[in-house]
Structure 1
Amino acid sequence: MTTASGNRVWFITGASKGLGRAFTLAALEAGDRVVALARDTAPLDELVAAHEGRLLALPLDVTDRDAVFAAVARAVEHFGRLDIVVNNAGILHLGMLEEFTEAQARAQMETNFFGALWVSQAVMPHLRARGSGHILQISSIGALGGFPSNGMYSASKFALEGMSEALAMEAAAFGVKVTIVQPGGYWTDLYTTGLTATEPLEAYDPLRAELQKQWAEGSVDSDPRLAAEAVMHLVASDDPPLRLLLGSMVYDLAFDISRRRMDTWAAWEEVSRAAEHAIPAPGDPA
């Protein structure tokens, strides 16, 4: 069942800035209603006033599971239902893996993975009961592969995508759709207020310098409104994909990485196949 534009209820985390704000604006412009969630909802005050009755702004730290369930309950109570859930809240912690403290590593996973897991768990009973709904998991180019200084961020997005693939199969039986959205570069506050870094080790200075050179020469960042336009096309589809790439750079990179992986698997096919030969279970009588 597809809910027409102008009559949908969105639940968007990380909605006060960046991609989340762009998604919120696009949904409101389509005439939909939005539950916008953020740690700090003050940047949403103007939108709440401009869209009276159609925008509910709620403070939420997605790492707090109890608070997530309470926010979902409040959203359903307020608007009566949920149609589109966007797990967008995220942070970026840059650093070489050797440099990460335990607290920094756990913080990266708590927001990007566990936050999305808690929201997914909290909304599923409501979507199941209605027999419809669409969960959008905002992943990243960082989930296509691991990259130097982005290792923990990529790990959090790899975990998100593995969970989401399973969720998609579990939710399908109830008419609930799941799409993993993989954006490339967009000009968002992720690079400023959402960015932290490790204490650098001198040994990695040459690699850091090389990475900074590559980023300066090859950075491609776009207006978040373009991502929002793509998402509006996505949620209007009766048959949305499990995965959607956003941007030419991430599209080309996805195919390049996939081809290189396939080439490596093919080169090692003999070793791979030789590692499997069925035998009786240990202890079974001959």
Structure 2
Amino acid sequence: MNTKKVWFVTGASKGLGLTLAKSLLKNGYRVAATSRNKQALMDTIGPKSSHFLPINMDLTKNNDVREAIEATVLHFGQIDVIVNNAGYSQIGTLEELSDEEVMTNFRVNVFGSLHVIRNAAVYLRKQQSGHIFNIASIGGYTGNFAGFGIYCSTKFAVAGFTEALAEEMKLFQVKTTLVYPGYFRTNFLAEGSIQTPANPMQEYKSARELEQAHLNEINGNQPNDPEKAADVLMALSQQENPPVHFFMGEDAYHYARLKIETIQKEMDAHRHLGLSTGFDHQ
């Protein structure tokens, strides 16, 4: 275990990011943690030290992100592991969500991660080492959840650019892992973290039912332990050949297998028609 590595963790004032930052420090790693509220980081984790750097950062502003990464390198002398963890879930059907609600979710979940990647890659390329973790969601692999289409689409976008990133960074010996977590018992589904539609439409009964299930039943009863997730990410960072795709949680495996089975069945059922487009097809 190379505990001299410097981890850069976004969205570290609560949820999985907070648990990860604390676990990393407990295990001797050096950590730069970001949040829109630097004081929240200091209150929950501790003051600035030789091992910990709390950073006030607006993920949606590229200059903010660039300055945060520069501050990390200035403080620690290097940057090694990037964890694009910050994000939130926007509930709402495609019809009822406004353009601004949709764009805000994309600005944080998609473009925010791209800001981090763009600015961190400069250092990782030059040192010919590093590891980028992009935290998606099982909703970034299967999107058949009524009322979660926009959130899922942000995570599908993360999955898409991470697959390309993995190929692009191979040349520089930088590892890339796309993480698909299931439900973890954090405040991700709590009020203030999850966003509900400003103008809900009651006609979408299935979406309203799934929304209420997440807010009132799943919240607080998630099957996965964030402490164990932190251990898993540390273990992955130590692997010589970590996976590009990593499903985390029994529920994530369940939903992924359901989609794989569905796609395989539909491909098999429509194989003749699907292959009929070739010039040489009889």
- TM-score scaled by length of structure 2: 0.92
| Pairs within 5 Å for 1:23-102 | 23-46=20-43, 47-49=45-47, 52-102=49-99
C-alpha distance 113-188 of structure 1, shift in aligned 2 (>3 A)? same
Does the aligned pair in 2 maintain the 1:5–1:31 contact within 8 Å? no
| Pairs within 5 Å for 1:152-171 | 152-171=150-169
Match of 2:262 among 249, 260, 263: 260
C-alpha distance 33-207 of structure 1, shift in aligned 2 (>3 A)? closer
Q: Which blocks of at least 5 consecutive residues in structure 2 are unaligned? A: none
Query: In the TM superposition, what whole-angstrom CA distance separates every residue of 1:220-274 from its partner, at most 9, and x where no partner exists?
Result: 4333111111111111111100011111111121112111111101111111111
For residues 229 and 207 of structure 1, what CA distance do their matches in structure 2 show? 34
C-alpha distance 154-273 of structure 1, shift in aligned 2 (>3 A)? same
In the alignment, which residue of structure 1 is the partner of 2:204? Answer: 204
For residues 54 and 113 of structure 1, what CA distance do their matches in structure 2 show? 29
In the alignment, which residue of structure 1 is the partner of 2:102? Answer: 105
For residues 107 and 251 of structure 1, what CA distance do their matches in structure 2 show? 29
In the alignment, which residue of structure 2 is the partner of 1:282? Answer: none
Say which is worse superposed, 209-218 or 193-202, in terms of deviation: 209-218
2:117 partner letter = S
C-alpha distance 222-274 of structure 1, shift in aligned 2 (>3 A)? same
For residues 18 and 253 of structure 1, what CA distance do their matches in structure 2 show? 22
Does the aligned pair in 2 maintain the 1:220–1:249 contact within 8 Å? no
Query: In the TM superposition, what whole-angstrom CA distance separates every residue of 1:35-91 from its partner, at most 9, and x where no partner exists?
Result: 000011222214233x73210000111110111111111111111111100000001
For residues 247 and 217 of structure 2, what CA distance do their matches in structure 1 show? 23
Does the aligned pair in 1 maintain the 2:142–2:255 contact within 8 Å? no
For residues 70 and 169 of structure 2, what CA distance do their matches in structure 1 show? 19
2:234 matches 1:232: yes
2:204 partner letter = Y
Match of 1:222 among 221, 224, 228: 224
2:9 matches 1:17: no
Q: Secondary structure at the match of 1:276?
A: coil
For residues 253 and 8 of structure 1, what CA distance do their matches in structure 2 show? 34
In the alignment, which residue of structure 2 is the partner of 1:138? Answer: 135
| Shift, 1:216, TM fit | 3.8
Greater Rg, structure 1 or structure 2? Answer: 1
In the alignment, which residue of structure 1 is the partner of 2:193? Answer: 194
In the alignment, which residue of structure 2 is the partner of 1:115? Answer: 112
| Shift, 1:276, TM fit | 2.6
% identical aligned pairs: 32
C-alpha distance 125-29 of structure 1, shift in aligned 2 (>3 A)? same
C-alpha distance 213-37 of structure 1, shift in aligned 2 (>3 A)? closer
Runs of 4+ aligned structure 1 residues displaced above 3 Å come to 210-221
For residues 200 and 37 of structure 1, what CA distance do their matches in structure 2 show? 32
For residues 168 and 213 of structure 1, what CA distance do their matches in structure 2 show? 36
Give the aligned CA root-mean-square deviation in angstroms.
Answer: 2.0
- TM-score scaled by length of structure 1: 0.91
In the alignment, which residue of structure 1 is the partner of 2:173? Answer: 175
For residues 217 and 109 of structure 1, what CA distance do their matches in structure 2 show? 24
Bigger helix share: 1
Say which is worse superposed, 217-226 or 175-184, in terms of deviation: 217-226
For residues 42 and 157 of structure 1, what CA distance do their matches in structure 2 show? 29
